[in-house]
Structure 1
Amino acid sequence: MSDEANVLAQSYIDHPEKVKKLYKRTLMIVVISQMFGGAGLAAGITVGALLAEQMLGTNAFAGLPAALFTLGSAGAALLVGRLSNRFGRRMGLATGFITGGLGAVGIIFAAMLNNVFLLFIFLLVYGAGSATNLQARYAGTDLATNKQRGTAVSVAMVSTTVGAVAGPNLVDVMGKVAHSIGVPELAGPFILAAAAYILAGLVLFALLRPDPFMIALKINANKQSTESKEVSRKNPINKGIAVGAIIMVLTQIVMTAIMTMTPIHMGHHGHSLRAIGLVIGFHIGAMYLPSLLTGILVDKIGRSAMAIASGVTLLLSGVLSAVAPGDSLVLMIIALSLLGLGWNFGLISGTALIVDSTEPSTRAKTQGTVDVFIALSGASGSAMSGMVVAGSSYETLSLVGGILSLILIPVMIWSIGSKKVMKNKEMREL
């Protein structure tokens, strides 16, 4: 940090009330950027598979677009994490969002040229927006206390709802806009995505000053100069990172696999593009809208309880998706809403565990690395989902996904048991 930056950081160390004000201001800026970011995220989820099916002429690879932009988000998560760790959240998040916006522009041109090769390339680039949308949830936690972390994550996520729910319900409108300017209708939502991601990046670049991560680094360095007990906590911290990562990876696999093939499944049962957009809108709303309540529950009743709730909710979603008649719009809305809610429980509880288990000096880099695994798991779930449905059925995919989510229960029982053993060991040493 420069001398000027050190002086600025010291002013926050000397005046804790300034830290509280910066924490609140950071949350407000993240909220604004996430409103735009959510709209950018929704385009790929809603029409990505349909666009690929149209261009490829088969649904066997309909899960490939989601796999590609999720794979792209894996690389972007690593890059955004590294940039944030070195230069702060402002630079990392702004770069990620703007890159995602440029990827959306590329997808529009690929659709206009009917060039599948270009489509696949720009889907990878577009994935940077998805990765950044997830990474932004960490920005609000940099200056949060232990009892505020779940809530801080939830504030960032719930703000995504505005754009994420509006996006799918603008599919028809954006399709007409695209058609009027000579762009294929299914590429229309990517026009919205391009504008939304770029705006999100510009908001963060212009307003996220001073950078909360850099201030948090300085505050932590000051604390460590008076404390010397961090080394003894190394093993439990690593275990917390592993458990948090498992929660988020597993929920991501189940959610993306079922979500990716739902538009295709509905299309085959005669649902209109508007109906598909409605279902995905409810799904994304359930992913983000309950976040404020989820964050409070994560902080109040604990990370482990909410992770178990995630597994149970995803199981209910998988079973309902499997048994619901394909032409029932109401049951599809309920099933996909449960899918989003289960993911929400898992992501917020897992994120809180990761923040609890990392030190500021390496936090952003570790968070980026964990998000790489989340993205790769999502890419795997998306890619395999199309093959499973082509080889078997959507019902089989949903049921397997629901059963897989139950793995969270033994993982959390093991985690709770490990904490008790560690606590007993520390008591004996005292």
Structure 2
Amino acid sequence: MTDQHADDPAQDREPGSAAELTEPPEQRRILRTLVLAQVLSGAGLAAGITVGALLAQDMLDTTSLAGVPIALFTVGSAAAAAGVGRLSQRFGRRPGLTTGYAAGAAGSAGVVLAAVTDSVPLLFAAMVVYGSGTATNLQARYTGADLAAPARRGRAVSTVLVATTLGGVLGPNLVSPMGRLAAAWGIPPLAGPFLLSGAAYLLAALVLGLLLRPDPLRLARERAAVVTIGDTLGQGAGSTTTAPTGERAAGGSGGVALGASIMVLTQLVMVAIMTMTPVHMAAHGHGVGAAGAVIAVHVAAMYLPSPLSGWLVDRYGRIVVAALSGVTLLAAGVLAATAPTDSVVLLTVALALLGLGWNVGLLSGTAIITDSVPLERRATTQGSVDVGVALAGAGGGLASGVVVAVAGFPALAVAGGVVALAIIPIIAATARPTRRSIADPAAEPTP
């Protein structure tokens, strides 16, 4: 391989050697368990997102503060990301993820109680705890990559993400039925979806607590230790278990900064526009059912393209796909801003593009982070990065209501698209020193 070829992500070979694709037999079972848990947690995540701003608007009787609960929920998500990361690093993925989903279920119950008692302080506090479910849902993507071969990391992450699609699409479409069920029980209809969230998060916690065995992060450490001992004894060449080459060739702190920046910007833009879309639709005469359908398509676009996105990340490199996310988010913002207020179809397309832009940004950023951090601090670093991602979402959710109240939804959508384009200059400034390792984490250094 020549140096020119190595420096060109578009020319990266399709990794396929036995060493590059070595994975333990437990990986398939672990992925199946994660898929089941993600289907459940996706329903909990999407149901709450659909009506969170509307419930706040109803209880606070103002649009300008409608984004506050979503902001608080993302602040809670930030705290949970750090906590789940630390728990996972110390005790393994299973305890970390199980605890996070259990907290999400408790937060859902708190939101329902707040709606019943018409307590705004309780609503705010419960939304913080409810954010644990979202943080855990995102942390699970890293779990899929713990045992994945470097050449398959993008696809392993995508398998976990795409599983969220079924629950994510089902959840918003159950808004109206859950509202009717809640009303029959004497609960405000807008709190109904949080009944679904609580049950979904609790079931996800039970699935992981019972079935996520062996713990993937702990097993990855054991495999890495075996390889290290083998190399020390001069037997590394004959070992059947290979350490991820991407960890040896990683971009270090530069890779972490780049991956974090990509995910922070995509989260900021996505949350801001998504949060105000149901409020924008309600202001122009569209019902909760229509808003739920639009959000369902949006959530589907956030997760359903993951297999293709993961393949693109592995085949063409992290950098190319990350740049694509900025362009896609710009297109989403422009279309959302220019769509006629009576056109649910165009707004749906815009929200689909918004979800797709988030998806390719998250997958490329996640792969960069995983490539750049060794096992001994992987979960902690991943949790810390997700803190920044969640805080970006909190900022987007908090600012979105104010921007819409002052300048309108179109201004918010266009501004979000422009902000997303900052991904491209950040790549240009950050990626060059680590271009080789990020584009092809499975490639060995050129002699």
State the TM-score, normalized to the length of structure 2: 0.88
Shift of 1:218: 1.3
Shift of 1:244: 0.4
Shift of 1:224: 3.1
Aligned counterpart for 1:250 among listed residues 259, 265, 282: 265
Q: Which residue of 1 aligns with 2:356?
A: 341
Q: Which residue of 1 aligns with 2:337?
A: 322
> Could you tell me which amino acid in structure 1 is paired with residue 197 of structure 2?
A
Verify: 1:43 aligned to 2:47, yes or no: yes
Aligned counterpart for 1:82 among listed residues 68, 86, 97: 86
Verify: 1:238 aligned to 2:253, yes or no: yes
- Equivalent residue of 1:147, what SS? helix
Contact 1:282 1:337 in 2 (8 A): yes
Q: Distance in 2 between matches of 1:421 and 1:33?
A: 35
> Could you tell me which amino acid in structure 2 is paired with residue 113 of structure 1?
T
Aligned counterpart for 1:127 among listed residues 115, 126, 131: 131
Q: Which residue of 2 aligns with 1:308?
A: 323
Q: CA, structure 1 residues 233+59, in 2 after alignment: closer, same or farther (shift >3 Å)?
A: same
> Could you tell me which amino acid in structure 2 is paired with residue 343 of structure 1?
W
RMSD over aligned Cα, in angstroms? Answer: 2.3
Contact 2:250 2:373 in 1 (8 A): no
Q: Which residue of 2 aligns with 1:187?
A: 191
Q: Distance in 1 between matches of 2:311 and 2:251?
A: 24
> Could you tell me which amino acid in structure 1 is paired with residue 167 of structure 2?
G
> Could you tell me which amino acid in structure 2 is paired with residue 64 of structure 1?
V
Q: Distance in 2 between matches of 1:58 and 1:351?
A: 37
Q: Which residue of 1 aligns with 2:441?
A: none
Q: Distance in 2 between matches of 1:95 and 1:152?
A: 23
Q: CA, structure 1 residues 18+410, in 2 after alignment: closer, same or farther (shift >3 Å)?
A: closer
User: 5+ residue gaps in structure 1?
Assistant: 1-15
Q: Which residue of 2 aligns with 1:410?
A: 425
Aligned counterpart for 1:206 among listed residues 207, 210, 224: 210
> Could you tell me which amino acid in structure 1 is paired with residue 375 of structure 2?
P
Q: Which residue of 1 aligns with 2:224?
A: 220
Matches within 5 A, 1:38-117: 38-117=42-121
Shift of 1:186: 0.1
- Equivalent residue of 2:251, what SS? helix
Contact 2:115 2:187 in 1 (8 A): yes
Q: Distance in 2 between matches of 1:410 and 1:203?
A: 42
Verify: 1:197 aligned to 2:201, yes or no: yes
* 1:187-224 per-position Cα deviation (integer Å, ceiling 9, x unaligned): 00000000000000000000011111101011112333
Shift of 1:411: 1.7
Verify: 1:419 aligned to 2:445, yes or no: no
Q: CA, structure 1 residues 354+55, in 2 after alignment: closer, same or farther (shift >3 Å)?
A: same
Shift of 1:288: 0.4
Structure 1 stretches (4+) deviating beyond 6 angstroms? 232-235, 427-430
Q: Which residue of 1 aligns with 2:295?
A: 280
Q: Which residue of 1 aligns with 2:16?
A: none
Aligned pairs, how many? Answer: 411
Shift of 1:413: 2.4
Q: Percent identity?
A: 53
Matches within 5 A, 1:9-28: 20-28=24-32
Shift of 1:44: 2.1
Range that drifts further, 412-421 or 165-174: 412-421
Q: Distance in 1 between matches of 2:392 and 2:43?
A: 23
Q: CA, structure 1 residues 138+159, in 2 after alignment: closer, same or farther (shift >3 Å)?
A: same
Aligned counterpart for 2:153 among listed residues 143, 149, 155: 149
Q: Distance in 1 between matches of 2:116 and 2:312?
A: 47
Q: Distance in 2 between matches of 1:352 and 1:217?
A: 19
State the TM-score, normalized to the length of structure 1: 0.92
Range that drifts further, 193-202 or 37-46: 37-46
Q: Which residue of 2 aligns with 1:260?
A: 275
* 1:344-394 per-position Cα deviation (integer Å, ceiling 9, x unaligned): 000000000111011111111111000000000000010001111111111
Contact 1:44 1:66 in 2 (8 A): no
- Equivalent residue of 1:183, what SS? coil
Q: Distance in 2 between matches of 1:34 and 1:233?
A: 31
Aligned counterpart for 1:400 among listed residues 406, 412, 415: 415
Verify: 1:171 aligned to 2:175, yes or no: yes
Q: Distance in 2 between matches of 1:137 and 1:238?
A: 21
